[in-house]
Amino acid sequence: MTELQEPNSGATPLLEARGLSKDYGDTRALDSLDLAIAPGEVYCLLGPNGAGKTTTINLFLGFVAPSAGQALVSGLNVSTHDRESKRRLAYIPEQVMLYRNLSGIENLEYFAALGGQGSLGRERLVEILVEAGLDGKAAGRRVSTYSKGMRQKVGIAIAIAKKADALLLDEPTSGLDPTASNEFSALVERLRNRGVGVLMATHDLFRAKDTGTRVGIMHYGRLVTELSTAEIGHADLERIYLEHVRDNGASP
């Protein structure tokens, strides 16, 4: 069991995996993952379905227990500091699901309150929603009338309101139109500039190259390569990705 470490103090990565593994029965979903994400870094996990991307996010969220290794958030072991580690995280899934009978403001207020930001006034909540790209007029409407893109923006607003150190994104632009995807990328960029560390699981190579600072390619639970997006072009990334996915095509 890992000793409690000091919360993020510059040198401590915001998100860190140390030999992190997860088995489901005889199947190894994640195999000895090591990675560290510093403040202001956007790390994109690429890989086909079943590569272990969502398992990695679930381990950081404490939704599943690791079979080996540790998931750390700002130096806190998720397994032993479930609540404290979650307080420092924000999570946006592929489909942000909200409460249909509540408005965008009410949903944001609720999730923010549960995340420890219970005293935000209505005005501030609207500001955050607008900052996340939602039309201010839509903020008071019930979310049953929202499009997927609007719901994703509320998800971003929840992350902003929480003032989290780190952001976990699980296929956040899947199903969004190009405009909405670009807006989403811009929001991630803004959060990155504020020093938030981001771990994004995605199939979207273009978005990974465009938004990420580093890219990790996963296949059958293993991190097979890591790249700096500043050093490669879009075509390089696609080529390398396909090489790794093809070369390691056989199930281990």
Partner 1 sequence: MIRHIVRKEFTDMIRDGRFRWCSILVGSLLLVSLAHGWVQARKAHEEHAAAQATAREHWETQGEKNPHSAAHYGVYAFKPRLALSFVDEGVDPFTGTSVWLEAHRQNDFLLRPAQDATAAQRIGALTAAQVLQHLVPLLIILLTFGAFAGERERGTLRQLLATGVGWRELALGKALGTSGALALLLVPAALAGAAALVMANPGPVASPVARGVVLACVYLAYFVAFLALSLAVSARAKSARTALVFMLAVWVVNGLVAPRVAVDLSKWLYPTPSAFEFARTVEREMATGTETISRPDMTESNERLLAEHGVERVEDLPINAVGAYLQESEEFGNRIFDRNYGALWDTFRRQGLLQEALAAAAPSIAVRTLSMGLAGTDVEQHRHFATAAETYRRDLMRQMNGDMTQNSLTGDFSYAAGAELWESVPPLEYEAPSLGWVLGNRILSLAVLGAWLAGAVLLASAQVRRAEVA
What minimum distance in Å lies between the beta carbon of 52 and partner 1? 16
Q: In what order do the strands lie in the sheet with 76-77?
A: 27-37, 15-24, 68-73, 76-77
What minimum distance in Å lies between the beta carbon of 115 and partner 1? 4
Could you tell me the two tokens for 141?
């409407």
What angle separates helix 104-114 from helix 122-131, to the nearest 10 degrees? Answer: 100
- For partner 1, the closer of residues 54 and 229 by Cβ is 54
What minimum distance in Å lies between the beta carbon of 192 and partner 1? 20
- For partner 1, the closer of residues 110 and 206 by Cβ is 110
C-alpha dihedral (157, 161, 163, 168), degrees to nearest 10? -40
- For partner 1, the closer of residues 158 and 215 by Cβ is 158
What minimum distance in Å lies between the beta carbon of 109 and partner 1? 8
CB 43 within 8 A of CB 4: no
Binding site for partner 1 (CB under 8 A): 58, 61, 63, 82-84, 86-87, 89-91, 93, 95-99, 101-102, 106, 109-111, 113-116, 118, 155, 158, 162, 168
Element (H, E) at 245: helix 234-247
Element (H, E) at 53: helix 53-61
- For partner 1, the closer of residues 60 and 241 by Cβ is 60
